[in-house]
Each structure stands twice: as C-alpha cells, then as structure tokens.
Amino acid sequence: MTNSKRYSDLLSYNTFEDRFNYLKLNSNVGDDTFGFDRYLNQQFYKSKEWKNVRDYVITRDNGCDLGIPGMEIQGPIYIHHINPISIEDIEHSSERLLDPENLICVSFETHNAIHYGDDSFVSRNTVIERSHNDMCPWKK
C-alpha cells in the first residue's frame, strides 16, 4: 500500500474541511466499482470479521463524522475505506479490508461527498463553538 492514505495521518487535520479534502476521491456517479460482482462486497460486509472491525471503528471514532469530536452522526453510521477496495482485495482477503488505519466513520452524506466531490457540502459541516448564554437572546 505505497502512497496510501492512513487514519493516523488523517488525524493531523483538525477541521472537517481539511479531513474531507484529504479523503475526497472526485469520482463520478455511475463509475463502476464492483459492477456485476457487487455480491462479493455484499458478502464481505455481512461477515463476522467486518462486523467486529466496524464496531471497533465506531467506538474509536465515537460515532463522529470523519472522527471529529462534536460531529456526532445522526442516523446510520457508514464505515468508509480511506483507500477504496477492489474485487481483488476481496478475492485475496487483502489486509486493507479490515485494517483500522484504512477505515473512518462517516455519515451517508459525507460518504457520497467524498466519492463524488460535492464541496458545497463541506461548509454545512463545521462544529459550532458554543459560548455562555449564546442561546439566551436577552443575555448577549
């Protein structure tokens, strides 16, 4: 996995935007991933090994989008392969399939934005810094 992106490197980026830019793939909708062999990845995602590593990653990232504290995912949590997997990875049981260094928690919207490059999505996903009385109009 030369020149591969890694979870530990991703953590050096503090903002959602920086982490998103590190991960984005700029694919096109309809790009073939598994095509007619989609059953392969569906079998993999039902395996005990996948479910175990998935649970580990969710716990590690506290269920937060791109692992950013304060960005808790509301709804289904997706586990994104930082370096996309292939048919060959599944056929040969590549270590990258279950390597936590190749996995990150994302929301459905973030997952699609990573794959299809929707940069407009990024500005909506920043942690709002709260301050004392900021929700109390008469105490501002």
pLDDT value at residue 116? 81
pLDDT of residue 48 exceeding 60: yes
The model's pTM is 0.78
% of the chain at pLDDT higher than 70 = 73
Question: Do residues 113 and 122 touch, judged by C-beta distance below 8 A?
Answer: yes
pLDDT value at residue 30? 43
Alpha helices in the chain (DSSP H): 7-10, 16-23, 38-44, 48-60, 87-91, 108-116
DSSP annotation string for 29-52:
TT--SSGGGHHHHHHHTTSHHHHH
pLDDT value at residue 49? 95
Radius of gyration over every alpha carbon of the chain, rounded to an integer in angstroms: 17
- CA 62 to chain centroid, in Å, comes to 13
Read off the pLDDT of each residue in 38-63 and give the average, rounded to a whole number.
90
Q: What digits encode the pLDDT tens for the residues 52-110?
A: 999 999 999 999 999 999 999 999 999 999 998 888 888 899 999 999 999 999 999 99
Q: Could you tell me the pLDDT band of residue 41, with boundaries at 50, 70 and 90? A: confident
Q: Could you tell me the pLDDT band of residue 134, with boundaries at 50, 70 and 90? A: low
pLDDT of residue 139 exceeding 90: no
Task: Name every residue whose Cβ is closer than 8 Å to that of residue 62 and which is 6 or more positions away in sequence.
Answer: 69, 72
17 versus 132: which is more confidently predicted? 17
Question: Do residues 45 and 81 touch, judged by C-beta distance below 8 A?
Answer: no
